[in-house]
Amino acid sequence: MTTEIQRKKIWLLLIGIPLFMQLSCNRHLYLHREKSNFYEVNANVVADSSMNAFLHPYKTSVDTQMKLVIGRTDIMLTKAQPESSLGNFMADAQLIAAQKIDKKVQLSVLNYGGIRLPYMAAGAITKEKIYELMPFDNRLTIVELSGKEVAELCQFIAAAKGWPISGFSFKIKDQTAVDIQIGDAPLQENLMYKLALSDYLANGGDKLEVVRNAKRKATSIYIRDALITYITDLTAKNQPLHPVIENRISYAE
C-alpha cells in the first residue's frame, strides 16, 4: 500500500516538478488559456539546470517506485458497457477491501467515467499503470442502503448504460433495471444492504443522489491502493489477474 510520503513524492513528480521547474526559470510565465477548469502554463521557457540537479534524486526514487511490477494479467482487460473485464476487476477489488473492514458489505460500485484507461494489455502490471487507471485520490466509503434505495441505484446505473459492479446483478430492459439479484437471492426492499464506493460517489458525484444522505463509514483507504493490494495478493498466490464477464449487467432478451 502506498504511504502518504510516497504519495507526495509521486505527485511531486507528476504535477509539482514540471511546474516548479518552470517557475524556477528566469523568464516570466503567464497563464494564457483556460479550458475545463485547468490552466495551461506557457512552456516557452529554458530549463534551470541547477533545479534539475536538485530534483533528480526525487525523480529517480519515484520512477523506481512507479516502474515496480506488482503482478500480471494473462488477458487484455477492456473498458466497456454494460459490463467489462476492467470494470469487474476494479469493483471486485473495492468490495474485498471493504469486506476487510466490514464483513457485512455485500455490494460494490464504481462510476464508469472514473476508469481512466480504455484497456490494460496482457502482461506485467506496474504501479504506474494503476495510477494511470485510477489517478484520483478517492477514498473507500461504506454506505447503508435500504433494498428500495438499492433498486433506485440499479435504475440509475441502467439509465447510464451500465457501471462496474460487484456482489449484485440485474438486466436492462428499456433503460430500466429488472431482475435485480443480490448475490444469489432476489433483492428484498425491506432489508438493509451495505455498499462499497468512493467518497466522490458517496457525496453525490456523477449525479448519484440516492447515496448522498445514506449512513456511512469513511475509511482512509484509497481506491487506487485497494486495486494495488488486490493484484499483489494474487501475485503472492502466484495467480494472474483474470477477471471474466459474468453477466452482472446484461440486456434482457
Query: Are both 60 and 125 inside the same structural domain?
Result: no
Does the reported pTM lie above 0.75? yes
Query: Are both 75 and 192 inside the same structural domain?
Result: yes
Query: Are both 26 and 94 inside the same structural domain?
Result: no
**Residue range(s) defining the domain that contains residue 247:** 70-251
- DSSP letter for each residue of 11-31: HIIIIIHHHHHHHTSSS---E
What pLDDT does residue 66 have?
Answer: 83
Q: How many residues does the structure list for the chain?
A: 253
Out of 23, 38, 66, pick the residue that ends a domain: 66
Chain center to CA of 106? 18
Query: Are both 156 and 226 inside the same structural domain?
Result: yes
Query: Are both 233 and 134 inside the same structural domain?
Result: yes
Residue 198 grid cell:
468512493
Please tell me the total count of domains within the chain. Answer: 2
What pLDDT does residue 55 have?
Answer: 52
How would you write the pLDDT of the chain (253 residues) with one tens digit per residue? Answer: 556 666 655 555 554 544 444 444 444 433 444 444 544 555 566 666 665 565 555 555 556 678 999 999 999 999 999 999 999 999 999 999 999 999 999 999 999 999 999 999 999 999 999 999 999 999 999 999 999 999 999 999 999 999 999 999 999 999 999 999 999 999 999 999 999 999 999 999 999 999 999 999 999 999 999 999 999 999 999 999 999 999 999 999 8
Query: Are both 40 and 102 inside the same structural domain?
Result: no
Query: Are both 165 and 206 inside the same structural domain?
Result: yes
Question: Helix count (H) and strand count (E) of the chain?
Answer: 8, 15
Residue 221 phi/psi, 5° resolution?
Answer: -85, 125
Query: Are both 149 and 202 inside the same structural domain?
Result: yes
CATH of the domain at 136: 3.90.780.10
Query: Are both 56 and 171 inside the same structural domain?
Result: no
| pLDDT, tens digit, 9 for 90 and up, residues 53-92 | 655 555 555 566 789 999 999 999 999 999 999 999 999 9
Going by DSSP bridges, is the β-strand pair 192-198/105-109 parallel, antiparallel, or unpaired? parallel
Burial of 20 by CB count in 10 Å (0-12 exposed, 13-18 middle, 19+ buried)?
A: middle
Query: Are both 107 and 132 inside the same structural domain?
Result: yes
Query: Are both 9 and 85 inside the same structural domain?
Result: no
Query: Are both 41 and 95 inside the same structural domain?
Result: no
